[in-house]
Structure 1
């Protein structure tokens, strides 16, 4: 029976299995999304109970070759506290994207490292960093799984972008010039800056800094462009966590 030991991981979702156990959806660095059963995790005396929390970096050991493996050990490795408030809801949003966009047992080490960095930003408690961190995660995630086109040219014609022209990001169509039917768009200069930041040596830092420096109207326009692409590939009109945020804001 295969045994994976001391694997970096996060719990991205869990649900009840029997009266005392949990089924976990975990995101591991070397093995991607892995489904585990944590036997006895709901018991008050279980060592798993205080450890299996979302948005917390773990080191796990599990065994098995079936679709659902068995969790043998889990330890909190520290590094940051649990995000709170808007940061916590944003973390759940990241988890929903992972569940919808990544297949099980498909390694994405780069996305794992990105996720860990963004969760650290969310845990810092600075509200001004949440929006840039989410846009950075969306961009780099979409690029890693092959859903983001090159942002320095129109996708169908490969015509270089003009800095002073509006362009829109279309699912299955890539970047194209803005027309009268489009609600929003971004200037070519912004798409070109994003292209450069995504291809920088430290893509996370460069893209996070750029998204933080964008004026609010351009940041909102970028959010709308990425939302359409994400909803298309997730197969939904509204993500559950986004609807939850909308409902809470309405209260």
Structure 2
């Protein structure tokens, strides 16, 4: 039976039968789900988020079995809003990444974002950048400086997002609409521009909602708690 070794992080785990867990691992090779038999030694305590692991997995189907799981470093320590942000990224990956598809660039961006969160950098630009990279990796990204027809975004014009096509110019301001100047600021990652971060949050939420389906993200509720 095929055995592979991955430098990976745990995205999510949940109980499975009496003494095991189902674990979603993220590595440069993509998202992999495996059964971890937690009764074997202290393997269960090793499988914690945001800590680098070497995971040896066995199996040919989509569901693997963990043969060996060892820490390869101390990882990052996240608390408060940074922790919620990390859990949010993990949930996005579990919900949106297809199984058994390689994403080395996204994996590297994930690692860099975790380190930046641990360093206390501003959360919103980091999350918007990660969301955009994820959409791009999955083939769902769209132009920010041009509309769906290839016309340059005009700073004083208004636009709506058509998730399968891109940005469409509209004549009047209405709910869910974006000002061209904000879109151009996003294209340049100019987060100092007025309203750019707020508009980017709304835009990414609309773009992601089209692919998440009707089930809400549990991690978003953490940000609302006092």
**TM-score, with length taken from structure 1:** 0.81
* Structure 2 residue aligned with 1:139: 132
Gaps of 5+ in 2: none
Unaligned runs of at least 5 residues, structure 1: 198-206
* Pair 1:170-2:162 in alignment: yes
Q: CA deviation at 1:122?
A: 1.8
**Are 2:13 and 1:14 aligned?**
yes
Residue 78 of structure 1: aligned partner: 73
Note the alpha carbon deviations across 1:170-205, whole angstroms, 9 max, x for none: 32231122443632544434434544x5xxxxxxxx
Deviations 1:75-100 (A, max 9, x none): 22226422111111111111111112
SS at match of 1:89: helix
Q: Which of 32, 36, 49 pairs up with 1:38?
A: 36
Tell me, what secondary structure is at the counterpart of 1:50?
helix
Residue in structure 2 matched with residue 113 of structure 1 by the alignment: 108
Residue 46 of structure 2 aligns to a residue whose secondary structure is: coil
Preserved CA contact (<8 Å) 1:184 1:221 = no
Matched, 1:153 2:146: yes
Q: 1:179 to 1:13 in 2, by over 3 A?
A: farther
How far apart are residue 238 of structure 1 and its match? 3.4
- Report the RMSD for the aligned CA atoms in angstroms: 2.2
For the structure 1 residues 141 and 86, does the alpha-carbon distance in structure 2 shift closer, same or farther, using more than 3 Å as the test?
A: same
Q: Is this contact kept in 2: 1:152–1:161, CA < 8 A?
A: yes
Deviations 1:41-86 (A, max 9, x none): 2x4x723133210122222111111222111222222264221111
Equivalences for residues 1-251 of structure 1 within 5 A: 1-5=1-5, 7-30=6-29, 32-39=30-37, 41=38, 43=39, 46-78=41-73, 80-124=75-119, 126=120, 129-155=122-148, 157-180=149-172, 182-195=174-187, 197=188, 207=189, 210-211=190-191, 213-215=192-194, 217-236=195-214, 238-246=216-224, 248-249=225-226
Q: Residues 185 and 225 of structure 1 are in contact (CA less than 8 Å); yes or no, is this contact kept in structure 2?
A: no
SS at match of 2:73: coil
Cα 1:74–1:191 change in 2 (3 A) is same
Q: TM-score scaled by structure 2? A: 0.89
**Local SS of the residue matching 2:8:** strand
